[in-house]
Chain A
Amino acid sequence: MSSTTRTMAAPRTRVVLAALLRKELRVELRSFEAVPAMSLFSVTTFVLFHFALQRNALSGDLASGVLWVTLLFAAMLGINRLFVADAEQGGFDGFLLSPADRSVLLYSKALTLLAYLLVLEVVAVPAFALLLLGSALWPALPGLLVVLALGDLGIVVIGTLVGALAVRTSVRDLLGPMISLPLLVPVLLCAARATSPVLGAVGAGALPLRWLVTLALYDLVFGLITFAVFDFLLED
């Protein structure tokens, strides 16, 4: 044994999490690899929908479908980038060499993806209201925020898992969306159904509770699955 007696207390989760989040923020602010692309992509997609559907204003089912499909595809860009810096620059190994709890990496990545999505929506939702939405945004906003929160949660738990699954493969940009999109269909389905009455042509309708509960349960189940299997993606 080494002659120096060292206290080998495990590093505190909160300290590690704060350090990892600070790292994520700095890397993104300096490289601009994810968030600007996601936001710009969403606005471009709204323009595409305008021409593809040949409509100036959308409401109801169509509005909610266009909004959610756009958000989902924009989220794919973030999911694909989420672990790239760690896989390419050795952050995974550096993390595994430390005594820090493995699940802190999951928490930090999930929170990072959530932050990506929030910034995306700060850009995409007003842009959508401006460019495509037939009715006013303000009355619909409270209901929309609830659905967005639950939808984001679903994208976060599945995106973090699939991002980690795909990043160390030879075709990660393809596998990420191919695996995560089918898994996200129930999220899309529930979120789109819950959003469509809110974006109704004759003013915001009530939130359909059934879809919100289903969505929340789906988030919960896949949150637990992601938590349970994430560690196995780290070790070698």
Chain B
Amino acid sequence: MAVLAALELRGLTRRYGERLALADVTLSVAAGQTLAVLGPNGAGKTTLLRLLATLLRPHGGEVSVLGHALPDEGWAVRGRIGLLGHEPLLYRELSARENLAVYAALHGLDGEARAEELLAAVAMERRADEPLRTLSRGMVQRVAVCRALLHDPELLLLDEPRANLDPAASELVEPLIGRASGRTRVIVSHDPAGVLAEADLVLGLVRGRVQVLAGAAELDPAALVELYR
């Protein structure tokens, strides 16, 4: 079987009012590979992630996610994407189990067994019946990992996924969202050193424009320094 691109962007453009939030982004990520997106604040990293998640529409260019063109075929890729961002996308008044039950229904899954399996994997099964507002941020983030993986997505979109996690929790989620998970991943990060180790491809954005696009192996470290100047 030929390696098909999981992500294919050609001239992707998105405006924010009259300003360009993303200008002419062209790249391709093969299935199972990891793309690291780096850049200073306001570079368009989160915009790119939300576009790939079908939450924003592209204003120009072509976007193909898992073989489907966005935005027209958004319905076909929703449910195959897992988004894990700054917001946990969970209801604070509901417990972890209740939140996951809502998401299972939204995805048309009978997800109870899957939810228990994931909660156990992030060591949250003991506190899974408490309302999330009583849990620490790190614990909520672990539940959010379960939420993003509940429907076993092929593509993971991660926005600083380990931001609120202590080292122990980071280790817990590693098999789920790390390289070993075998999923195609897009990781937005502010920590170039950390993310380079797990990336195949590195995209450096500055003011919505592609400044660096290279394989992680052949990347010139000086280019990264330049990125944050």
> Which residues of A line the B interface, CB within 8 A?
1-3, 8-12, 15-16, 18-20, 22-23, 26-27, 30-31, 85, 89-91, 93-100, 235-236
Contact sample, A vs B, 17 pairs, CB 8 Å cutoff: A1-B66, A2-B80, A8-B80, A10-B108, A19-B106, A20-B102, A31-B93, A85-B93, A90-B87, A91-B91, A94-B147, A96-B54, A96-B78, A97-B81, A100-B107, A236-B56, A236-B57
When A31-B93, A93-B55, A236-B50 are in contact, do A19 and B101 touch as well, CB less than 8 Å?
yes
For the complex, give the distance between the alpha carbons of A100 and B56 in Å: 17
On whether the beta carbons of A97 and B83 are closer than 8 Å, the reply is yes
Q: Which of A2, A100, A235 has most B Cβ within 10 Å?
A: A2
A85 to B93, CA, bound (A): 9
Q: Is B172 an interface residue (CB 8 A)?
A: no
Contact A97 B55 (CB under 8 A): yes
- Report which of A26, A91, A93, A236 forms a contact with B98, defined as CB distance below 8 A: A26
Residues from 149 to 171 in B contacting A, C-beta threshold 8 Å: 154
Give CA–CA (A208, B149) in the complex, Å.
57
* Count of B interface residues, CB-CB < 8 Å: 39
Q: Does B90 contact A (CB under 8 A)?
A: yes
**Please, which residue of chain B has its CB at the minimum distance from the CB of A23?**
B102
Interface of B is mostly: loop
When the two chains form their complex, are residues A30 and B88 in contact, meaning their CB atoms are under 8 A apart? no
A153 to chain B, nearest CB (A): 27
Whether B79 and A27, one on each chain, are in contact in the complex, defined by CB atoms closer than 8 angstroms, is no
Question: Which residues of A are found within 8 Å of B93, using beta-carbon distances?
Answer: 26-27, 30-31, 85
B227 at the A/B interface (Cβ < 8 Å)?
Answer: no
Q: Which residues of A contact B108 (CB under 8 A)?
A: 9-12, 15-16, 99-100
Whether A98 lies near B103 (C-beta < 8 A) is yes
B4 close to A1 (CB less than 8 A): yes
Residue from B88, B92, B108, B154 with most neighbouring chain A CB atoms (10 Å)? B108
B106 is contacted by which of A8, A16, A235, A236 (Cβ under 8 Å)?
Answer: A16
Chain A contacts for B89, CB-based, 8 A: 89-91, 93-94, 97
Given contacts A1-B4, A95-B106, contact A236 B94 (CB under 8 A): no
Residue contact A90 to B106, C-beta cutoff 8 Å: no
Residue B105 is within 8 A (CB to CB) of chain A in the complex: yes
Q: Decide yes or no: A15 and B87 within 8 Å by CB, A97-B55, A97-B81, A99-B79 being known contacts.
A: no
CA distance A91 to B106 in the complex (A): 11
